Amino acid sequence: MKFDKERFFSILSEIRSSGHERYNIGTLKEKTMHLALKRYFEADESFQEIETNGFVADIRKDGIIYEIETGGFSGLKPKLEAYLDEYTVWLVLPLSKKKNLQWLDPLTGELSKKRTSPLKANEYDILFELVRILPYVSHPNLHVLGIMMETDELRIADGWSENGKKGSHRVELIPSDIYYVTEFSCDSDYEKYIPPSCNMKFTVKDFAEEAGSILEPRRSKIDKRTASAVIKVLEARGLIVRTGKAGKAYTYSRARTASAAAPEA
């Protein structure tokens, strides 16, 4: 799916110039990111916030549902159970490949200077979210669109630590640039994130150490927790299979490789 960056930022500019409240602490008012993406995928409000099988879909039109998931996929199982057999569902996940962070003092209202967060999202973060909806990842009506962005994040320093940062809450996340989009719809979309060296026999540790070579820019590795989740997703898609154990660690293989290597009956 192509993404029209110019149109998106035109929509975002209209929202921000219309007086949409940005610092909506403690309210249920819709966040700017969610609103902008919803208007991008469907400008006609008559197709937005549609009651559907006991839930409210962000967008529903012509048998297609879009759900804008700025907070990840946790809690989506009931909706997907209600939607997927009847509708094509697109889960839209914005991710910060670069994040500029500011803190808001809850007592004085003072804003800190912006700094760049060391955390940088990548495609494995999309696959990690899919483990939260594992029973549905192989459903033919499910599609996922990850939007890699540069963002400006405002957080309120209301957490439990001395400086208020640990356990703090996000106030707003505003996109400042769109780098690219990544789609997960068919097996080939998933297969390209299996490292080439993870073919005949590999462990979670092997996968974690090799996966960074696929990313742009390259990384030395991904963490084992992410690798474990990604492997579960790839297993659910039938792209890799568990083949045994090496010591205490499970071993895996690409499904086609395992099939080709199996002896004839």
pLDDT tens for each residue of 112-159: 999 999 989 999 999 999 999 999 999 999 999 999 999 999 989 988
Encoded tokens for 224? 């084992």
Query: Is CATH 1.10.10.10 what the domain over 193-261 is classified as, yes or no?
Result: yes
pLDDT tens for each residue of 1-52: 889 999 999 999 999 888 655 444 333 456 899 999 999 999 999 999 999 9
String of DSSP letters for 23-78 = --TTS-PPPHHHHHHHHHH---GGGEEEEETTEEEEEEETTEEEEE-TT-STT-HH
E strand or H helix that includes residue 130: helix 123-130
Helix (H, G, I), strand (E, B) or coil at 128: helix
Q: For residue 133, which of 202, 59, 82 has the smallest C-alpha distance? A: 82
Residue 65 and residue 88 in contact, taking contact as beta carbons nearer than 8 Å? yes
E strand or H helix that includes residue 209: helix 204-211
Domain ranges for the chain, please list them. Answer: 5-185, 193-261
